[in-house]
Chains A and B, each alone.
Chain A
């Protein structure tokens, strides 16, 4: 069927017409490019925020589990993890925008905070698994040399833990990048919203949404490539 279509000149001219209508006419491509900018801004800022939160939460949780310290902070962390992981991302985003930051008109900032706090919960559990996977002898050796607990974590345990969970962290970033597509719920003009705006103007869903999907796919593929290069590099330098 498609093969027959592809041979007909009418099919090709219809396709180029649609392309022109959706992306070139009235500079509609700008909706996608501007949307991509917002998507990347939200994803990158959220991943940094999420990594920072995840790091701190993971260290608090493992310190508590191994040494019985930081009981109150550990309790807070557990409430945070339970709430974030137990509710849908979309609902969290809506609550952040319409309840917590109801007075704020800065949708991008609200999205960064919501996605960052959401990602932090998952990153925390990934890093915690990484820390627990490191043999206790590593920290003992560090302490026996006179390093403090924090020095031992920083110089000995965390570098090994992060390396072990790098694939899982990369996966978490990919999930986050794609999750940002729900930012249009709070009227953020991200990449997905860009496609939706074009559709509402041209009444054509096929072209804009396929283009949007293709852009996400290319982003994820580029990131996957970068990540596996980093993994190979780390693998060359040590265990």
Chain B
């Protein structure tokens, strides 16, 4: 693994850079239960640098839980996860809040925050901070965590707002925006930390149909610029066009996976065919 830290950019974390095509996130036999309910029953997969992985499947199949385990918003019950070569979760060593039992409390918190600051997450319900302007939403994390100056953070935020097509909304408050605009701001907020990977949890599911396109366009632009992405979605056309690999999650397992051409043209299982038949018009 390359250890070029490239610390000239204050927005970057000090983690080693993973070259394109190399494993960025490795998941091994991931289990997650909520009480007696088993949601994930042994997921193993590798997400490579620059890869766009789209996760589809019926609701209740564990898609969102899988995604939320990747940045430890949910603590895995058992299994191991590596991120950029570092083991971030191992064999149920994590507490309910995702911190590692084997380390001191402070060390746990520090590690956890470091991993998460390197993984951008976009939520179904946007979760913008309603008491802050758009600009403050985007600049808060780099300023608080990486110690970036206000000027540098705002310059960068304006670039990102430009990139998602909303530079004129910098001084607006979230509740003055449409759903599609909020989601694009949420993407900009996550990008401000220069994450190594972007996790999308049904980013268009809470949107009116006419706003889905603008959010998908931003995501396509990210993919075109080689951002590593894990996307939970019901947008089959997006999966077809953008994904490098499609994961079909059902009953807490990866039932089937493959490149989208193959996956959509020749699904191996009846269950997959059945599901694709139901969502075909999407």
Residues of chain A whose beta carbon lies under 8 Å from any beta carbon of chain B: 67-68, 135, 137-138, 140-149, 151, 155-156, 159-160, 163, 237-239
Contacts and interface: CB of A to CB of B under 8 A. Distances in A.
B132 interface: yes
B116 A145 contact: yes
Contact of B141 (A67, A146, A237): A146
A238 B113 contact: no
Contacts of A144: 71, 73, 116, 119-121, 123, 190
A68 B123 CA distance: 25
Contacts of A237: 173
Band of interface residues on B:
20 to 34
Given A143-B116, A144-B73, A144-B116, A149 B97 contact: yes
Contacts of A146: 113-114, 116-118, 141, 145, 193
Given A239-B130, A239-B131, A147 B113 contact: yes
Contacts, number: 77
A138 B189 CA distance: 13
Interface of B: 71, 73, 96-97, 109, 113-114, 116-121, 123, 125, 127-133, 140-141, 144-145, 173-175, 186, 189-190, 193
Given A67-B96, A145-B193, A147-B113, A160 B130 contact: yes
B131 A163 contact: yes
A147 B189 CA distance: 13
Given A145-B189, A146-B117, A151 B144 contact: yes
Contact of A148 (B113, B120, B121): B113
A138 B126 CA distance: 9
